[in-house]
Amino acid sequence: MIGQKTLHSFFSAAPVKKRGRSPEPGGDAEVSAAKKAKAAGDEAGQASPLSPEQVERIRKNKEAALQRLAERNVPAGFGESWRRQLAGEFSKPYFMELMAFVAEERKRYTVYPPPDQVFTWTQMCDIRDVKVVILGQDPYHGPNQAHGLCFSVQKPVPPPPSLENIYKELSTDIEDFTHPGHGDLTGWAKQGVLLLNAVLTVRAHQATSHKERGWEQFTDVVVSWLNKNLHGVVFMLWGAYAQKKGSSIDRKRHHVLQTVHPSPFSVNRGFFGCRHFSKTNELLKKSGKKPIDWRAL
């Protein structure tokens, strides 16, 4: 009938569903996953690695900060070239404790050498110009004796017994050597002879010096630096302590001469006749270095 609707006309056809495409490599699903991963990475900014330039900048900033800290702890009278190479030690706990300990000792006792002479051995020559190392024991504990170079005393203090024995050996070992009439070994130190004591300071009139905490560790650092950074250094190790301290020296890289200490208690057991001074000059010549003028005092 015209105008009449059939029963079926009241029901509309269900909408046709679009078939989704199967995810394929590189398809929409993979692209979506990549976008999500990128977004997650962006949110977690710390996951991105630093560039080489950033790493280097951080390293330099850290190094500069440590250098500033070390500068605040540089001991009085410490030589510039030695400071540049050893400054990293000054801010370490053991060294700061050592300096604090010595400062407290000075408040209560007379301590030698004076504060401005403790590190005289770093003032005489550049650290890279060291050619000979003599390791002493304790600083002298009499007035005006110790001045930061082992075995040495300043004018007009008479040379102590160990130094007199050194002069006796020199007079038989080095041609034209004569007793200088004083005990100041600065002339050797300026030529590259490192005169380093095993103990930093001593109390006045104390027969056996106390060994400050940390000093042995620092002397190990000094010897280690010379051992690793220089070539052809002659180490003159007199006595058991010096020989123990020199046990780590690379003997293929450097030269080691050993004998007893020149103290009156041991000098006749091998120091006299050791000829260490002439032997040292022979070794320096073989290494292409200028020998020491042992007479220049």
CATH topology of domain 57-287: Uracil-DNA Glycosylase, subunit E (3.40.470)
Which structure tokens are listed for 257? Answer: 């001469």
Q: Express as a percent the part of the chain with pLDDT over 90.
A: 61
**What ranges make up the beta strands (E) of the chain?**
111-112, 132-135, 193-196, 202-203, 234-238, 255-259
Any idea what DSSP says for residue 21? P
Four-residue CA torsion sign, 104, 107, 112, 113: positive
What DSSP element (H or E) covers 183? none
Using alpha carbons only, how large is the chain's radius of gyration in Å?
Answer: 37
Which structure tokens are listed for 165? Answer: 């024995």
Interval 83-95 mean pLDDT? 93
| CA 297 remoteness from chain centre | 30
Is the model's pLDDT at 206 over the cut of 70? Answer: no
Report pLDDT for 61.
Answer: 83
- 287 CB neighbour count, 10 Å cutoff: 14
Q: Express as a percent the part of the chain with pLDDT over 70.
A: 78
Which structure tokens are listed for 87? Answer: 């400054």
The least confident of 3-17, 84-98, 181-195 is 3-17
Kindly report the average pLDDT of the chain as a whole number.
84
Is the model's pLDDT at 20 over the cut of 80? Answer: no
> pLDDT per residue over 90-105, tens digit each?
999 999 999 999 999 9
Any idea what DSSP says for residue 52? H
> pLDDT per residue over 116-139, tens digit each?
999 999 999 999 999 999 999 888
The least confident of 111-115, 244-248, 250-254, 290-294 is 244-248
Say which residue the tokens 């079926």 belong to: 8
Residues recorded for the chain: 297
Report pLDDT for 1.
Answer: 43
Q: Which position among 28, 42, 129, 138 bears the catalytic label?
A: 138
Say which residue the tokens 């004018």 belong to: 155
* Cis amide bond preceding 143, omega within 30: no
Provide the pLDDT confidence category of residue 56 given band limits of 50, 70 and 90. Answer: confident
d(CA 250, CA 256): 9
CA distances from 130 to 146, 223, 225, 280 (A): 21, 11, 11, 13
* Annotated domain spans of the chain: 57-287
Interval 150-170 mean pLDDT? 96
Question: Can 184 be counted among the known catalytic residues?
Answer: no
Closest CA to 214 of 199, 196, 236: 199
